[in-house]
Chain A
Amino acid sequence: MEIRIEEMAFSYASVPVLKDICLDIREPQFVSILGPNGVGKSTLIHCINKILDPTAGKVFLDGRSVKEYSLKEMAKEVGYVPYSSSDTFPLSVVDTILLGRHPHAGWKTSDEDLEIVYDTMSKLGIEDLALRPFNELSAGQHQKVMLARGLVQRPKVLLLDEPTSNLDVKHQLGISRLLKHLSHEDGILVIMISHDLNIASKYSDNIILMYEGAIYAVGTPAQVLTRENVLTVYGVDSEIIDDGGRPHLVLKDLESGECLPMADSAVCTSIL
């Protein structure tokens, strides 16, 4: 499965979010999209799986414009794992994951569907949660269930919006390794939005770094995660350490006195 994006742009009403996006992803691999908040990372992946229609330019999956895909066809090719999921009317974990079979299944749940769900749950180590209500799970378990829902779509491309944001370090590493495994062993093109530069660097084959609504740099972690790039894009200085051929960033504190707007000055001083 390959993705080709040609001069794509997207704006909400009159506010431009993305501009001049050109991208060509050919083989199954593990790609991370990095960039500051509000840069358009989510918008970019929404434009790939038809959740949003680009205002200009084109997106192709396997050489076919996404406009020609029906929603159901798209759901068979591209899985999507959202950042969070509503639970107004929570289902059990099995039934929540079964929703991912919707593009393939009819009204009745088949044995095959259940097998796929069970396999996926055991792969993620959540089979013991099977009949628990979704709303009673911890944030980390939520995220795994949503990942499972994306996986049972049996997609060729898997898009994930910050899949490790609510997990502890052990599970962050576990999920990231699983995603890498999926891309290398199962031949799925995995595209993940992340805020953790070091996790992205450790596991990704390639990184897309975004800045001001455009793609700032694309390449291997070593090519993209340089001190200059991180300084420009995030405004944070860092020291790069070599970790087995992959960059590991040690972030430096912001310039003295420059507190993020969230922390008021009282907090800054009182921590002394």
Chain B
Amino acid sequence: MTEQASNKDFKAEYSRYVWFKLLFIAGLGVLTFFIFWISLCVGTRDLDVATVFDYFIKHLQGVTYEPRSQQAFDDSIVWNYRVPRALFGIISGAGLAISGAIMQSVMKNPLADPYTTGVSSGALFGVAIAITLGFSFGGSGIAGVGTVLNAVLMAMVPVVVILLFSPFFRKSPSTLILAGVAVSYMFNALTSILLVSTDEANLDIVYRWQVGSFTDLSWGSLPLMTISVIVGIAIILPLSNKLNLMSLDDKDAKSLGLNSERLRIVCLVILSFISASIVSYVGIIGFVGLVIPHMVRMIIGSDNRFLIPGSVVLGAFFLTACDIISRALDVQAEVPVGVVTSFIGAPIFLYLIIRQKSGVW
């Protein structure tokens, strides 16, 4: 039967189509793996990949070196500075990109991400409270749970604003972003008030938070952020086919058995946890969440079942690469990584605004 033959053709074609997407994601995964090693080589102390790899493996095997020897020094550079920093790039990149992808799908808005909607500014204000006033919910200390909780709580404020006013944001994608800008201004003003009255040391810390920087990160800062990013990804991935339905009108989604409003709340709460925990450690790194999902869409389309994992790996790769660039530009001064992402991301954002009318990819 020709009917059956063409049915088979169709299935084969569709599975090729799916395989291409999976291959793309896997390829990005491999690239991310490689860039991790490259990232370990960049810095004031010049080490090549083989040496770095050697130190890495030996450290895992528990090899110790004579104190104050060159080897012990190099081992410490690799293991205590560069490895956590590279992991930070990978995990926060993945987290920022998935936050953007979720935000865009949930709000049906190609311009949305935690940065453009004010979620990051809210989180930063929470961090500023913890640093300057020393006031935090829960424990204390800059890298502690309390700071993260502060950030999460303040990140929830824009989320609540978005949820309350979401009917108004449907009219045009820019309305949501303008509201986000307004909320950001508000939080930036509040943060500034705190900064005016604080001492120089705190000022320096908060300043670095504002531009987003990977300096002074150590192993101790990793677990909390890693947990929230991984848990977030683990919750969102199984929901990704439902996110496809969310790109329809709410009433169409309802007719297909999905309560969009409930899922939107769940997703936004998860997203504010992810982005607030990232902001708590590295500050505001702009445009990763906005640009990465669009890059993925350009290549493998908007199907969230592939877009979400694709954004995770590309985000990890992209931010690690930006960190390498920031260190390579000037090894001594270290241009903050947020500056690099903004330089790359802002023009793309502008391009998106301009071509927005003709649909997205």
Which residues in A have some Cβ–Cβ distance to B below 8 Å? 46, 49-51, 70-76, 78-80, 82, 85-92, 94-95, 99-100, 102-103, 107, 111, 114-115, 118, 122, 127, 130-131, 133, 135, 153
**Which chain B residue shows the least CB distance to A72?**
B257
Which residues in B have some Cβ–Cβ distance to A below 8 Å? 3, 6-7, 10-11, 13-14, 17, 104-105, 108-110, 173, 238, 240-242, 244-245, 247-249, 251-252, 254-259, 297, 301-303, 305, 359-361
The contact of B105 among A71, A89, A115, by CB within 8 Å, is A89
The contact of B13 among A46, A115, A131, by CB within 8 Å, is A131
Main secondary structure of the interface of B (DSSP, over half): helix
Contact A88 B251 (CB under 8 A): no
Contact A82 B252 (CB under 8 A): yes
**Which chain A residue shows the least CB distance to B250?**
A51
The contact of A46 among B10, B240, B251, by CB within 8 Å, is B251
Chain B min CB distance to A15 (Å) = 17
Show 12 A/B contacts (Cβ-Cβ < 8 Å), sorted by A.
A75-B255, A78-B255, A88-B360, A89-B361, A90-B360, A92-B17, A99-B245, A102-B242, A118-B10, A122-B6, A131-B13, A131-B17
The contact of B302 among A46, A89, A111, by CB within 8 Å, is A89
- A79-B255, A89-B110, A91-B302 are known; give 9 further A-B pairs, CB within 8 A: A80-B252, A82-B255, A89-B302, A89-B361, A94-B14, A95-B301, A102-B257, A114-B10, A122-B3
Chain A min CB distance to B112 (Å) = 11
Contact A89 B252 (CB under 8 A): no
Contact A91 B259 (CB under 8 A): no
Are A127 and B255 CB-contacts (below 8 A) given A88-B108, A135-B359? no
Contact A86 B255 (CB under 8 A): no
The contact of B248 among A78, A85, A115, by CB within 8 Å, is A85
Chain B min CB distance to A103 (Å) = 4
Q: How many A-B residue pairs have CB under 8 A?
A: 108
A212 to B173: give the CA distance in the assembly, Å.
35
Contact B11 A114 (CB under 8 A): yes
A residues in contact with B242, CB < 8 Å: 102
A131 to B14: give the CA distance in the assembly, Å.
8
Contact A90 B359 (CB under 8 A): yes
**Which chain B residue shows the least CB distance to A146?**
B252
Which residue, of A87, A102, A111, has the highest number of chain B Cβ atoms within 10 A?
A102
A residues in contact with B359, CB < 8 Å: 87-88, 90, 135
Contact B254 A50 (CB under 8 A): yes
Are A130 and B10 CB-contacts (below 8 A) given A49-B255, A99-B248, A99-B256? yes
Are A89 and B360 CB-contacts (below 8 A) given A115-B7, A118-B10? yes
A89 to B240: give the CA distance in the assembly, Å.
14
A100 to B359: give the CA distance in the assembly, Å.
23
A residues in contact with B14, CB < 8 Å: 94, 114, 130-131
